[in-house]
Amino acid sequence: MAGHDDEVAWARLTAAEIQARANPATVVVIPVASVEQHGPHLATGVDMWLASAIAERSARKLQAAGTPALVTPCLWSGLAEHHMAFGGTITLDEAGFAAMVGGVARSVARHGFRRIALLNGHGGNIEAIQTLAIVLTREIGVPVVGVTYWLASADSFGAILEAQPNVMHACEAETSMVMAVQPDGVRAEAIARAVPKRFAPPAPPGFKRHRPFAEMTDTGVLGDPRPASAEKGERLLEAASARLADELARPELWQ
């Protein structure tokens, strides 16, 4: 593995190089996202870019601290029916999503890896990822942890953001992070008109119901992207990846 010892991306390694890391201490991160509308000012790949960036940053932090880590390619399609009315969105149904995530996790486990993290980057996937972490752990006999990056980093995100307490949608937070990792995915001239004139907040904490985004916002955006900046995005990405690396390194999480 000369020259590739520090590589964390599964797809940039050979099969033999991957198998050389198949030991019980290696953490395999599977980013799970969505391709969907993000208002008039952001490209549809936002969740995919951010989940991938945070997964790779977390894996590099893990390796630097002595825990071997790998990141699979991002599973880019998720549960996004609630965005379909705005166009540009690709969605799976629940059975298809479970089959895709389960197939990848089972493949990883069959190669001898014993620590699998499903890193979620899309709000519509939250409950499904939590359920799959439980079901897959029981089914394949390997610890599978599900985590949504902004929920795990709520305290640090709240200290960085100015206009909102955490990630919403195509908002200050997501716009900032895209500015940091994929600046050509931002249409700066459309940010001002992305601010919704009609905004119905989601159900309160502890409650859940389906509500199409077209009933919640007239622009496809929840929140105000105008305070976004690349510098703020970099701080958010670093906070999220540091939090995840700290938690994924804890042996207690996997026992």
pLDDT of residue 27: 98
How big is the chain by its Cα radius of gyration, in Å? Answer: 18
- Listed in sequence order, the residues at least 6 apart from 134 whose beta carbon sits closer than 8 Å to its beta carbon are none
Series of mean pLDDT values for 10-residue runs along the chain (255 residues)? 79 98 97 98 98 98 97 98 98 98 98 98 98 98 98 98 96 98 98 92 82 94 97 98 98 95
Here the tokens at position 116 are 């699998």
- Determine the angle formed by the axes of helices 230-248 and 46-64, rounding to 10 degrees: 50
pLDDT of residue 3: 60
Are 129 and 102 contacting, i.e. CB atoms less than 8 angstroms apart? Answer: no
| Amino acid identity at 86 | F
Architecture of domain 20-247: 3-Layer(aba) Sandwich (3.40)
pLDDT of residue 208: 86
Are 122 and 249 contacting, i.e. CB atoms less than 8 angstroms apart? Answer: no
pTM over 0.85: yes
pLDDT of residue 1: 39
